[in-house]
RNA sequence: CCCCUCGUAGUUCAAUGGAUAGAACUGGAGUCUUCUAAGCUCUCAAUGUAGGUUCGAUUCCUACCGAGGGGACCA
């Protein structure tokens, strides 16, 4: 990192000396450095000469040469060359990489201070009590957890929040179903059945629909003791069930918000701003057309708040609970339209708060055959998927070295599902292929875990032989050590973009380099070079350990 | 009709406006008396169409074609 900063500054100065304009200097300095995709083009590179020369009509290569001359010698850089159309490539010196290896063996490897001191709340997962924990919640959880950890690694103080829909028509449907089926002490499976019973009746039976709507109103005002008892029991069961899932997934929430709590606050905000929200067809709406959006209902004609009004209340309650600099909500893409409208309304009623809110939308999990639909039963719940993965991993774990193969199977299952979610850009849909998801090979979470376990085993064995890993400052740079050097920058990049997949991609490349190196190199070969190789292995182990942590994936030491 | 995502090997995904567009899976050929074969090596294979901006476009802009999501009382 220090090398990179120094290099960026020097490139800027050299370009300045070589005749770059003040304007361009400002726009390029600090952004001028990049990592060549191909290591043969150096550890750092800059296209500054290409960018500048085109504006002058001069030859990019000549200009690049002038910059290189102005640069002179740079500590930590062994070679500077002009390549291609006018790129300037920098190659790290052995001593710089040795420093990197030493740093990489420490616990703090990969941390940065890009968000130092910032208070950031991250809201994610958001399952609804009385309904199943489905794959969308799994996606939100995996992405949200990783973002929270990336922000923590960049120095932010992070609070994890979970916002759950414990009131609304979906709950009324489930309660109605419970009554219909005569269930008084619901378990999670019974709740799922009750919900689908209620949902089907709501669509097909007018009488049932009226009953459900009446029930919904009673849930808001809590006027019926029998219903309250059923509701409280169902909610308790649901939440306890979700806690088990969070534990498996490795998430610990700081705050829980419920729609039943945000509703009154939301209604109050809407009612207090009659200049922003208007009556229309008996409902109170926000007319988003003036912002290029669409009109949405905030309070229904029956006087009940919609998700939109509750969201207003939620934002205010979050800020009261823990004053934050920024609050991030991770939800499915299908909600981004409504979120935009809520945000537009919020900008009018609470501009300062609105400016701190950020919405990240993730894609949907689709089946190869099309969209999942709970109506047709063509749906996979998050829990059933996890259970299947655990079974699959157990079969594979029979010849493993782990003491507890059940625990290992769970770690591997979590890795498999989270990796599949986190390896692609978060906004995109994921086409769910059961066979691929259950596969534990190739481009997968277990691949990263396996590389980590291997590195761990070697380090342990070296310790038994009292080889602590003294480094050779003249060791020739190799692919593995050069990629190692990029880890902190990959972390910072992923944190800046709030995109875990940028880190996932890096880790795959790194693990792949490690596995290649491992296959071709006897690390504990008794030679004078062994300690240095042990140090590099230890650095790789730490990189994979910290990298997996940032993805929210467990890193078992034995597989 | 409007708005938001997105079109890259047979499939699922990468590529901060740069260098020969990278992986994985599938198919084919190899590889465990040596630190973990959930590994490694080799091999076949791709930017929807038409323009524009740029020294340079998978990336930015426009149009078209195609997929998914959203568009008043669900979330």
Closest CA to A505 of A519, A493, A520: A493
pLDDT of residue A425: 92
A433: Cα separation from own chain's centroid: 21
All domains of chain A in start order, with CATH: 2-92 (3.30.1360.70), 119-271+306-367 (3.40.50.620), 384-551 (1.10.730.10)
Q: Which nucleotide is nearest to A33 (CA to C1')?
A: B16
Q: Which nucleotide is nearest to A310 (CA to C1')?
A: B75
**Which spans in A222-357 are helix H?**
225-249, 259-272, 307-321, 336-349, 351-354
* Cα gap A157→A548, rounded to integer Å: 20
Closest CA to A127 of A295, A249, A263: A249
Query: Å from A443 (CA) to B29 (C1')?
Result: 22
pLDDT of residue A31: 53
Query: Å from A59 (CA) to B72 (C1')?
Result: 61
Q: What percent of chain A has pLDDT over 90?
A: 69
* Cα gap A295→A108, rounded to integer Å: 49
* Cα gap A151→A143, rounded to integer Å: 12
* Cα gap A182→A264, rounded to integer Å: 31
Q: Are A323 and A119 in contact (CB under 8 A)?
A: yes
* Cα gap A171→A158, rounded to integer Å: 31
DSSP state of A475: P
Q: Are A314 and A266 in contact (CB under 8 A)?
A: yes
* Cα gap A513→A71, rounded to integer Å: 32
Closest CA to A419 of A246, A247, A555, A243: A555
10 Å CB burial of residue A493 (0-12, 13-18, 19+) is middle
Q: What is the pLDDT of residues A448-475, one digit of tens each?
A: 999 999 999 999 999 999 998 889 999 9
Q: Which nucleotides in chain B have some atom under 7 angstroms from a protein Cβ?
A: 3-6, 11-16, 18-20, 23-26, 34-41, 54-56, 68-75
Cα distances from A488 to residues A106, A184, A231, in angstroms, run 13, 54, 48
- Is residue A32's pLDDT more than 90? no
Reduced to 3 states (helix: H, G, I; strand: E, B; else coil), residue A433 is: coil
**Strand A365-367 vs strand A430-431: parallel, antiparallel, or unpaired?**
parallel
* Cα gap A295→A225, rounded to integer Å: 37
Banded model confidence at residue A49, pLDDT cuts 50, 70, 90: confident
| pTM for this entry | 0.94
Query: Å from A421 (CA) to B9 (C1')?
Result: 22
Query: Å from A480 (CA) to B42 (C1')?
Result: 22
Q: Is the ipTM of this complex over 0.90?
A: yes
Measuring alpha carbon to C1', the residue closest to nucleotide B40 is A519
Q: What is the pLDDT of residues A144-161, one digit of tens each?
A: 999 999 999 999 999 999
Note the residue count of chain A. 559
Reduced to 3 states (helix: H, G, I; strand: E, B; else coil), residue A171 is: helix
Q: Which nucleotide is nearest to A332 (CA to C1')?
A: B69
Cα distances from A253 to residues A103, A273, A301, in angstroms, run 32, 33, 35
Task: Look over chain A and give the mean of its residue pLDDT values, rounded to a whole number.
Answer: 90
CA atoms within 13 A on the CB side of A360: 28
Residue with tokens 């990796």: A419
Q: What is the pLDDT of residues A366-406, one digit of tens each?
A: 776 666 655 455 567 888 888 988 998 998 888 889 999 99
Measuring alpha carbon to C1', the residue closest to nucleotide B26 is A436
- Segment A302-321 shows an average pLDDT of 95
Closest CA to A389 of A369, A418, A366: A418
**Strand A365-367 vs strand A370-371: parallel, antiparallel, or unpaired?**
antiparallel
Q: Give bridge partners of residue A284 from the DSSP assignment.
A: A279, A299
Q: Are A438 and A160 in contact (CB under 8 A)?
A: no
Reduced to 3 states (helix: H, G, I; strand: E, B; else coil), residue A344 is: helix
- Is residue A199's pLDDT more than 90? no
């Amino acid at each position: 990192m220090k090398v990179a900063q120094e290099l960026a500054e020097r490139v800027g100065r050299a370009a300045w000396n070589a005749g770059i304009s003040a304007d361009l200097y400002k726009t390029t300095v600090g952004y001028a450095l990049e990592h060549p995709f191909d290591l043969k083009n150096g550890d750092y590179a800059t296209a500054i000469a290409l960018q500048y020369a085109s504006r002058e009509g001069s030859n990019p290569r000549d200009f690049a040469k002038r910059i290189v001359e102005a640069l002179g010698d740079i500590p930590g850089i062994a070679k500077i060359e002009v390549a291609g159309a006018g790129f300037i490539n920098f190659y790290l010196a052995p001593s710089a990489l040795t420093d990197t290896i030493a740093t990489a063996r420490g616990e703090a490897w990969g941390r940065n201070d890009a968000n130092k001191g910032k208070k950031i709340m991250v809201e994610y997962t958001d399952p609804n009590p009385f309904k199943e924990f489905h794959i969308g919640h799994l996606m939100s959880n995996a992405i949200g957890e990783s973002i929270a950890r990336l922000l923590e690694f960049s120095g932010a103080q992070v609070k994890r929040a979970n916002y759950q829909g414990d009131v609304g028509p979906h709950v009324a449907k489930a309660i109605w179903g419970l009554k219909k089926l005569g269930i008084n002490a619901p378990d999670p499976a019974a709740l799922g059945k009750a919900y689908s019973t209620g949902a089907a009746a709501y669509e097909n039976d007018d009488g049932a629909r009226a009953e459900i709507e009446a029930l919904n109103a009673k849930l808001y005002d809590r006027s019926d003791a029998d219903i309250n008892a059923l509701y409280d029991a169902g909610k308790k069961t649901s939440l306890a069930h979700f806690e088990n899932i969070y534990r498996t997934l490795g998430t610990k929430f700081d705050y829980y918000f419920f729609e039943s709590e945000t509703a009154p606050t939301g209604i109050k905000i809407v009612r207090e701003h009659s200049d922003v929200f208007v009556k229309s067809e008996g409902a109170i709406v926000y007319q988003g057309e003036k912002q290029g959006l669409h009109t949405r209902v905030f309070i229904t004609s029956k006087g009940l708040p919609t998700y939109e009004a509750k969201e207003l209340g939620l934002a205010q309650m979050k800020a009261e609970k823990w004053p934050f600099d920024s609050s991030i909500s991770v939800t499915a893409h299908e909600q981004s339209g409504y979120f935009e409208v809520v945000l537009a309304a919020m900008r009018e009623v609470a501009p300062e708060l609105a400016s701190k809110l950020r919405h990240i939308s993730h894609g949907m999990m689709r089946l190869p055959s099309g969209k999942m639909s709970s109506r047709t039963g063509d749906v996979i719940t998050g829990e059933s998927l996890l259970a299947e993965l655990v079974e699959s991993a157990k079969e594979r774990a029979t010849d493993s070295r782990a003491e507890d193969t059940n625990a290992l199977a769970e770690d591997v299952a979590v890795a498999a599902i989270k990796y599949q979610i986190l390896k692609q850009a978060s906004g995109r849909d994921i086409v769910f292929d059961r066979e691929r998801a259950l596969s534990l090979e190739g481009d997968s979470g277990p691949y990263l875990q396996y590389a980590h376990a291997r590195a761990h085993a070697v380090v342990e064995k070296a310790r038994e032989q009292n080889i602590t890993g003294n480094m050779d400052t003249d060791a020739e740079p190799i692919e593995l050590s050069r990629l190692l050097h990029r880890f902190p920058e990959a972390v910072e990049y992923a944190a800046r973009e709030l995109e875990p997949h940028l880190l996932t991609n890096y880790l795959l490349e790194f693990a792949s380099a490690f596995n290649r190196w491992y296959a071709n190199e006897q690390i504990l070969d008794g030679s004078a070079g062994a300690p240095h190789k042990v140090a590099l292995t230890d650095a790789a182990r730490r990189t994979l350990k910290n990298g997996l942590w940032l993805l929210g994936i467990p890193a078992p030491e034995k597989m």
